[in-house]
Structure 1
Amino acid sequence: MIDDTDATRSEPVAELDARYSAEGAAATPWSAARARLAAAEVFWISTVRPDGRPHVTPLLAVWLDGALFFCTGERERKALNLAANPHTVLTTGDSALREGLDVVVEGEAVRVSDEALLHRLADAYEAKYGADWRFEVRGGVFHGGGGPAPVFRVAPVTAFGFGKGAYSQTRWRF
């Protein structure tokens, strides 16, 4: 079971940006954003290449202990980018214009090597995505069909929620 609470951190400060919100809109509660992050299947990660150009690609992630976790191949572009610059943005949402909630999480990608946490994460991946996403844990990384895959943790520093329908833009500061 994926834990979508975070007992170690207090609730973030939520601010509605009226410039980008419908009249009468309210700030989206962090609990709604947490639920969206826990349920989302596909995320987009933005990293920075060594020459400063952006790199954006889809990936899978799980929400656990107040952070997003993802894995990637050791030699994939995003892993190489994060080794040089750990600042990243993870985004999820859908393409609907008039309904839903898009969430953007800004933070620093920190490599995870704790075996107990990696086992919990491997279980969380399988619970969320099914048996095709079962990972073994060895040597501080995930192992699956694509070879060794380091795991990264991104705890939100700042997050944004874009409510659709009754349009709103909420910023959460941690």
Structure 2
Amino acid sequence: MTDQLPVEVTNLDRYDHDALPWDRAHAVLTSSSGADITWFLGTVRPDGRPHAAGVGAVWYDGALHFTTGPGARKTRNLQADPNCTISVRLDGIDLTLEGTAHRVTDAATVERVAAVYAELGWPATAEGDAITAPYSAPSAGPAPWHLYRFSMSVAFGVATAEPHGATRWRFA
């Protein structure tokens, strides 16, 4: 879980800046959801080629969650290999997150995450173990969409505002 403190912090900065504190990245990460932010999911195709796609992500219960259509390339890639990355430019810091993504099928969790999306302006609702809405990104395919929970193992941050720096955080 990313609500826990990192077990290892490595300063990657080459300009004598201090390592960035995880609480700075965590605060922006947990408060940055909405239609104006595009999160980029990186997966690996079965033949080893990379695949990247924008997703709408929200923070809920200590982790990022995102949706994707059952027939989408990213869904098929995650079914074959759950290892993935998520990258995003947030206020004052660029983040690249490494970890795994697994489908959420618990109807109660799907309902709560759909409510988070709805609070942010996307009229999402739960339909059993999936999410539906009148619209989504054109690349998402038709509803319903599967919900995925991203479990972070490593995060990289590069500050784009003072204090500057670049840091890697590893989590247990």
For the superposition of Structure 1 and Structure 2, which TM-score range results when normalised by the shorter chain?
A: 0.7 to 0.9
Whole-Å separation in 2 of the counterparts to 1:82 and 1:43: 16
Q: TM-score, normalised by structure 2?
A: 0.83
- Matched with 2:125 is 136
Q: What is the aligned partner in structure 1 of residue 93 from structure 2?
A: 101
| Residue matched to 1:15 | 9
Q: Is the 8 A contact 2:131 2:145 kept in 1?
A: yes
Give the length in aligned residue pairs: 158
Partner residue, 1:37 = 29
Cα deviation for residue 14 of structure 1 reads 5.0
Give 1:125 deviation, angstroms.
1.1
**Pairwise CA distance, 1:143:** 1.4
Note the aligned Cα RMSD (angstroms): 1.9
Task: Tell whether 2:142 aligns with 1:149.
Answer: no
1:76 deviates by 0.8
Q: What is the identity percentage for the equivalent residue pairs of Structure 1 and Structure 2?
A: 38
Q: Counterpart of 1:75 in 2: which secondary structure?
A: coil
TM-score (norm 1): 0.82
Q: Tell me which residue corresponds to 2:57.
A: 61
Q: Distance in 2 between matches of 1:105 and 1:126?
A: 25
Unaligned runs of 5+ in 1: none
Query: 67, 70, 73: which is aligned to 2:69?
Result: 73
Partner of 2:166: 169
Gaps in structure 2 of 5+ consecutive residues: 135-141
Counterpart code for 1:44: F
Contact 2:64 2:150 in 1 (8 A): yes
Alpha-carbon separation, structure 1, partners of 2:165 and 2:128: 44
2:84 corresponds to 1:127: no
Is the 2:103–2:146 contact (alpha carbons within 8 Å) kept by the matching residues of 1? yes
